[in-house]
Chains A and B, each alone.
Chain A
Amino acid sequence: MSRLEFVDASIPTPRPEKSNNTVLDIRGLSVDYGIGLGAVHAVANVDLTVRRGEVLGIAGESGSGKSTLVYAITRLLRDPGVIVAGDATFYSRPDAQSTPRTVDLLSDDKSVIRSVRWSEIAVVFQSALHALNPVFTIGRLIDDVLAAHEPSMNKQQRRDRAAELLDMVGITADRLRSYPHELSGGMRQRVMIALSIALNPQLLIMDEPTTALDVVIQREILEQLMDLRDRFGFTVIFITHDLSLLIELADTIAVMYAGEIVERAPAQALFRAPRHPYTYGLLNSFPVLHGPRIAMTGIKGSPPDMRNMPHGCPFHPRCAHAMPECSTEHPPLLRLRDAFGDRDVSCWLQDSAHAVPPELALDGASASARVAAATTANVAPTTDAPRPHPESTTPAHADTATEVTA
């Protein structure tokens, strides 16, 4: 039986030790669109630590603030986006021996961010067609970056490096003379990746890099990305709405909802034993590829209107377990410890004063209980008989889950 150890609710999660292990540390970051009363709080009080060498996945629906978060820390936020509070610290350590250099990403001095952006923190955007300048050839685009950031390289060296970069992402060097419109969507995204790693960054931020691509090409590009990561050891922040993809790809997953991180946990922990009702709902929004066909319900309602956010927990109008306090008081980010390790959850249910619904308290032993719980809910007969109405069945709870103790 697992013990969900309750760490602290009254104060924010303790600031992690600034070890050599941390590459990015975000504290209390808030981003608004607009100012004054009409401001939309796109990112609200986000704490996030990225460990060196890991793949951190950020999952969320449109409007959850996942892209705004990374645009803020790379200072690519456009008007009317305003960073209203918080810190973001980047620990630059070009090689394993050196002591990390601290970089304040939110510094007023723009030269600070310029010294690390692209060279140490690179971003791959979703729409490669729009991110690549259509009037330059691929060769010229890569050459531009190298000429600007590596003044010591001569023309021939830059050309060789460009060919080498394309080779890394599986494109032949004769494509250096191609224009972006002459490449397929998958190749354009590979060029984006080649550009982003041109200066050997320590942190690669990928904003929905494969969303517009077909699954087979998506898989190829992700495999290539992971190979490059193994080779160069950069850290990856991967943003997507596709939670099922992240579970395969990421080491740690942070789930965002309405501008907040509602749960952060190791990928397998999040998948096997979600603790936040939204995470649970999201996981049950992806039909499975094998096993019996089961009725799934998704999450009732729609994401909130950011101009008119609900009081208390932003998820409470859609939550199956909403309690009176959920609509009045905002839940703190709780640090929990269970069989899967540490995690953060922002939900009143997990504060030890409440009985946790069994599906949100799965332990290590019932690792596959979430799947099993869903499976027993309603086994749809095979093709011949008419199926029961999917919404008419209630989801079953995992009976293997254990009581939670404080």
Chain B
Amino acid sequence: MSESTVPDAPAIRQAVEAGAPPILEAVDLAKHYRVRTKRFSRSGVVRAAEDVSLALHRGRVTAVVGESGSGKSTVSRLLARTTRPTAGELRLNGVPIDTRHAPGRDYRAQVQLVLQDPFASLNPVHDVRYILSRPLKIHGYAADDIEESILSLLRRVALEPAEQFIDKYPHELSGGQRQRVAIARALAVAPKVLLADEPVSMLDVSIRLGVLNLLADLRDREGLAILYVTHDIASARYLADTIVVMYAGRIVESGPAERVTDEPSHPYTQLLLSAAPDPDAGRPERLGERGAPPSLVAPPSGCRFHPRCPFAMPVCLDRQPPMLTTGRAHASACWLHDRDTAYAATPSGAAERETGAPMS
């Protein structure tokens, strides 16, 4: 774990499994929103996402975990190209994409987005048949097969008997069934990449797992590359192969799902994990006052987590830490993992690095 290095190379790309090339790749993607502050009509910039690099591979689920305002939904929108990046590059099958224009049908046929709220994302005046026939018609699937295609889509998302569901309207379906229809609609165009933005957070607890298992199934059987955006790190651990943790618009840690949750290497990931309900652990340790995420108009200098970090060092106030390798395919944007700064800055840094769990 003390293998530190390559500060400037985007370690995140190395961090993600080497081997097969990614289907969809983001390189140093950034999104800034202009806002006008009230006083003197000065305009400010909300840095919603900065230097976001991640890769989606065939047959793998990548989870983006973060609190509200961490930029995780911005990332899913950038990848779906519903919003234009301020900087950075998007590559589909290795080919850079011109992000200045709205995406064409060819992009949408490969990358599809599933939204959080299935009560809002399905038009209530149309039945399931119409909802699922639209993408098929728009993308030019043969008209005479459409009925059969819709039925097979419904079967793929386990809405059976499909013949009954095809004539239903959204209000006749439960939350879980609606989300399955939304997923079926995304699958209609046979995409390579599925972007799921909090797909289960609006659903009842007992049916969430069903939808997560459906996503796992699509990954395993059909080799879909899936981006799973969530605030729930336990569900990310359950579903994902790779977890990317975001804080205040930046990626702070990424690595294999179990490694990130079992041996978190960034203090923010540790905070997130210790705050999550965990009945198996018995009565939780006291967290105390841990502050709140910063403003994205004027984020803290250096590392954005330093005002809340129990291990903040002088260097954290000055310089943004790069993604530093902390293990196989595991990287963390924290100066604690930089041999020089950690040892030099705090005497305790070394000891903490040895134990690997610097939470007090």
- Chain A interfacial positions (CB closer than 8 Å to B): 61-62, 170, 184, 186, 214-220, 223, 241-245, 247-248, 271, 281-282, 285-291, 293, 295-300, 302-303, 371, 382-383, 386-391
Q: Is the CB of B237 within 8 A of A386?
A: no
Using a CB–CB cutoff of 8 Å, the interface residues on chain B facing chain A are 59, 67-68, 174-177, 204-210, 213, 216-217, 220-221, 231, 233-235, 237-238, 241-242, 256-258, 261-262, 271-281, 283-284, 286-290, 292
Cβ of A133 to closest chain B Cβ, rounded Å? 23
- Contact in complex: A186, B206 (CB < 8 Å): no
Once A184-B292, A216-B272, A242-B277 are accepted as A-B contacts, the answer to whether A298 and B261 lie under 8 Å apart by CB is no
B208 contacts A298, C-beta separation under 8 Å: yes
Q: Are A219 and B176 in contact (CB under 8 A)?
A: no
A152 to B110, CA, bound (A): 70
* CA gap between A186 and B290 in the complex, in Å: 12
Contact A290:B262 (CB < 8 A) given known A371-B280, A383-B257, A387-B220:
yes
Decide: B217 and A386 in contact? CB cutoff 8 A.
no
For B237, list chain A residues within 8 Å (CB). 287, 289, 293
For A242, the chain B residues whose CB sits under 8 A away are 205, 277
What residues of B have a CB within 8 angstroms of the CB of A184 in the complex?
A: 292
CA A214 – CA B238 in complex, angstroms? 19
Contacts of A299 in B (CB 8 A): 206-207
Chain A: CB-nearest residue to B221 = A389
> A215 to B238, Cβ gap below 8 A?
no
Cβ-defined partner of A248 (8 Å) among B213, B284, B287, B288: B284
Q: Which of A248, A271, A281 contacts B206 (CB 8 A)?
A: A281
Give the nearest-CB partner of A278 in chain B. B206
Shortest CB distance A38–B (Å) = 17
Q: List 5 A-B contacts (CB under 8 A).
A: A215-B231, A220-B287, A241-B205, A293-B258, A298-B206
Instruction: Report whether A223 and B213 are in contact in the complex, using a CB–CB cutoff of 8 Å.
Output: no
* Interface of A, helix, strand, loop or mixed by DSSP: loop
Indicate which residue in A186, A219, A296 contacts B238 across the interface (CB closer than 8 Å).
Answer: A296
The answer to whether B292 and A186 have CB atoms under 8 Å apart is: yes
Q: Whole-angstrom distance from the CB of A120 to the nearest CB of chain B?
A: 29
Contact B205 A243 (CB under 8 A): yes
Nearest 8 CB-CB pairings of A with B? A298-B209, A287-B238, A247-B279, A302-B174, A214-B67, A299-B206, A219-B275, A61-B204
| Residue with the highest number of chain B CB atoms closer than 10 Å, among A170, A291, A303, A383 | A383
Q: Which residues of B contact A170 (CB under 8 A)?
A: 289
Q: Are B279 and A244 in contact (CB-based, < 8 A)?
A: yes
Minimum Cβ distance to chain B for residue A206 (Å): 16
Contact of A220 with B210 in the complex, beta carbons under 8 Å:
no
Alpha-carbon distance A245/B281, docked complex (angstroms): 12
Docked complex Cα distance between A300 and B207 (Å) = 7
Q: In the complex, how many angstroms separate the beta carbon of A79 from the nearest chain B beta carbon? A: 23
CB-based contact B287/A216 at 8 Å: yes
Give the residues in chain A near B238, CB-CB below 8 Å: 287, 293, 296
Q: Which residues of A have CB within 8 Å of B242? A: 383
A62 to B174 Cα, complex, angstroms: 11
Nearest Cβ distance between residue B85 and chain A, in whole angstroms? 26
Check A288 against B280 for contact (C-beta < 8 Å): yes
B234 touches A289 (CB 8 A): yes
Contacting residue for A282 out of B205, B241, B278, B292, CB 8 A? B205
How far, in Å, is A320 (CB) from chain B's closest CB? 13
- Which residues of B lie under 8 Å from residue A371 when comparing CB positions? 280
Report how far A218 CA is from B238 CA in the complex, Å: 22
- Chain B, Cβ-Cβ closest to A245: B277
B275: A residues at CB distance < 8 A: 215-216, 218-219
A3 → chain B, closest Cβ, in Å? 26
Q: A391–B218 Cα gap in the complex (Å)?
A: 12
A302 to B118, CA, bound (A): 15
| Structural contact, A386 and B206, CB atoms closer than 8 A | no
CA distance A291 to B279 in the complex (A): 13
B262 contacts which chain A residues (CB < 8 A)? 290
Q: Which residues of B contact A217 (CB under 8 A)?
A: 292
- How long is the Cα–Cα vector from A254 to B285 in the complex, in angstroms? 25
Q: A223-B286, A248-B284, A303-B174 are in contact. Are A215 and B206 (CB under 8 A)?
A: no
CB pair B272 A215 closer than 8 Å: yes
- Taken together as a complex, chains A and B put the C-alpha atoms of A167 and B256 apart, in Å, by 43
Not counting A216-B290, A289-B273, A297-B210, a sample of 7 additional A-B residue pairs whose C-beta atoms are within 8 angstroms of each other reads A223-B286, A244-B278, A285-B206, A287-B237, A288-B280, A302-B174, A390-B213
Check if B206 sits within 8 Å of A282, measured CB to CB.
Answer: yes
